[in-house]
Chain A
Amino acid sequence: MFWKITLFILLAFVSVAGIAFPIVPVPHTWYEFPLIPGLKENAKIIFFHVPTAWLSAVAFFMSTLYSIKYLRKKNLDDDAKSYAAAQLGIIFCVLATITGAVWAKFAWGSYWSWDPRQTSIFALLLIYGAWFALRSSIESEEKRATLSAVYSIIAFLTVPFFVFIMPRIMIGLHPGSESIEGGKVIQTASPVVDFKMNGNMLAIFFLSLIGFTILYFWMWTIGYKSILIREKINKQSIRE
């Protein structure tokens, strides 16, 4: 119960703060955000876009982790956990794609421009889609668990290419990728958080990240428990 109340307060605060706090050229009080050149009011979507993208990656990682665990122990509970993680992952992946596309429209001028990170989130969407297609085409439970586990591990093997290599060979727009400035190819300082954010903006950004992560773990627990209960009821009704 404590966690639910904390989470509610946290997410309510982040939503209100992220949307309503004004952006001013020189912030004086704690609830004012600094103006970031080139982003302006668009900067606020970072509080919702980055957490969704982060969680779609976390969900994919957890799904693979439980797939490996399933292949080691052959316990169908692990398959349910992996499935629940992937179900949430595809939701967050779609959200990240949409928020990203909207942001790109206002910041870069078009909804989609095959930036390396856009390519990787597209690949992630395809992987999730293929994974669910594979699962729905297999009848037997054990077989479905084994084959989808193998597929998710193989799909995970391609992640390093998308995360580390594609941003280096393709010209990108996200911070952290190779870009052209004044005719020269330069490597901007890496990770995503390298915006000119001030202290309070960073604090709300990380609060949002933490809040969404807790939300994800809560949803995931409910998700896999409901899958386990559903399977149990199915088996009981077959027996009777």
Chain B
Amino acid sequence: MSSKAYALYKKDFYSELRTRYAINALVMFIIVAISVILFSIGNEKITQSLTSGLFWVVIFFSAMSGLARAFVSEEERGTSLTLHLIAAPSTIFSGKLLFNLILVFCMNIIIAILYAALFDSFIIKNFALFIVSFVLGNVGLATASTIIAAIISKAGAKGTLYPVLSFPILLPLILTAVQLTLLANQGASFGDAKFELAIVFCYDVIMLTGSYLLFDFVWKD
């Protein structure tokens, strides 16, 4: 199963490298979003809590603009029937999840670097805490967006529906991740943030289990 999932990931990866559809759109989206924020701030000094909130605003909307591709492209090209023949639903979900995970990590690393470079108040004081919360947050973001993308790909009006459906699902994750980013920027220790870390970890586990159980129903129609 894992070799098939990896093959599926490799297929998506190479097709992405060839067309650069998601990557180009994502990078441009990130640059546009951050420059809009920078223009609107101007010379103002903004607080750390506002910066960590804006950090997740950019991450959320970038994810919404890029992550739906994994399933929507299969439907648009009409290749989903072939996938039905080749592999079991859970394998397909693993492959797509792996691709989205890599995409989310690349995207968020770019965003984090840009934020650290461009925002004065975005100074990570506890780097280990930031990395742990960043990884946990990204896993949750990728999992929830992948299962919503699978639902969206079967519905009409895909582009507009995606953020609408994802936001309430991602809300607990985003609220806690904003808190965690703020704590890392303030230099809090792991002990201070253990409750928030536990929430994000639980969210990841619940979403991962739930989406593996429910993907069968979405995929078979």
Contact = CB atoms under 8 A, between A and B. Distances in A.
Given A146-B218, A150-B214, A169-B179, A157 B206 contact: yes
A157 B210 contact: yes
A153 B213 CA distance: 11
Interface in B138-190: 144, 147-148, 151, 154-157, 161, 164-165, 167-169, 171-172, 175-176, 179
B164 A149 contact: no
Interface stretch (B7-15, B25-33, B46-54, B195-203): B195-203
Interface residues of A, number: 30
A65 interface: no
A64 to B, nearest CB: 12
Contacts of B168: 123, 126-127, 130, 155, 158
A147 B172 contact: no
Interface residues of B, number: 31
Contact of A169 (B151, B165, B199, B206): B199
Nearest to B170: A158
B136 to A, nearest CB: 14
Given A134-B155, A143-B154, A147-B218, A129 B164 contact: yes
B44 interface: no
Given A134-B151, A139-B156, A150 B195 contact: no
A133 B165 CA distance: 9
A50 interface: no
A150 B161 contact: no
A137 B218 contact: no
Most A-side CB within 10 Å, residue of B167, B175, B199? B175
Contacts of B203: 161
A149 B217 contact: yes
A93 B172 CA distance: 19
Contacts of B218: 146-147, 150
B165 A138 contact: no
A154 B210 CA distance: 7
A54 interface: no
B54 to A, nearest CB: 17
A111 interface: no
Contacts of B155: 134, 137-138, 147
A90 to B, nearest CB: 13
A13 interface: no
A71 interface: yes
B166 to A, nearest CB: 9
B102 interface: no
Contacts of A146: 217-218, 221
B31 to A, nearest CB: 29
A153 B151 contact: no
Interface string A29-57: 00000000000000000000000000000
Contact of A166 (B144, B147, B175, B221): B175
A77 interface: no
Contacts of A157: 206-207, 210
A155 B148 CA distance: 11
Nearest to B206: A157
Interface in A119-162: 119, 123, 126-127, 129-130, 133-134, 137-139, 142-143, 146-147, 149-151, 153-155, 157-158, 161-162
Nearest to B209: A157
18 contacts: A119-B175, A123-B171, A129-B164, A133-B165, A134-B165, A138-B154, A139-B156, A142-B221, A154-B147, A154-B210, A157-B206, A157-B207, A157-B210, A158-B169, A158-B171, A161-B203, A169-B195, A169-B199
Given A161-B199, A169-B179, A169-B199, 13 more contacts: A71-B217, A119-B175, A130-B168, A133-B165, A134-B151, A134-B155, A134-B165, A142-B221, A143-B154, A154-B210, A157-B207, A157-B210, A161-B203
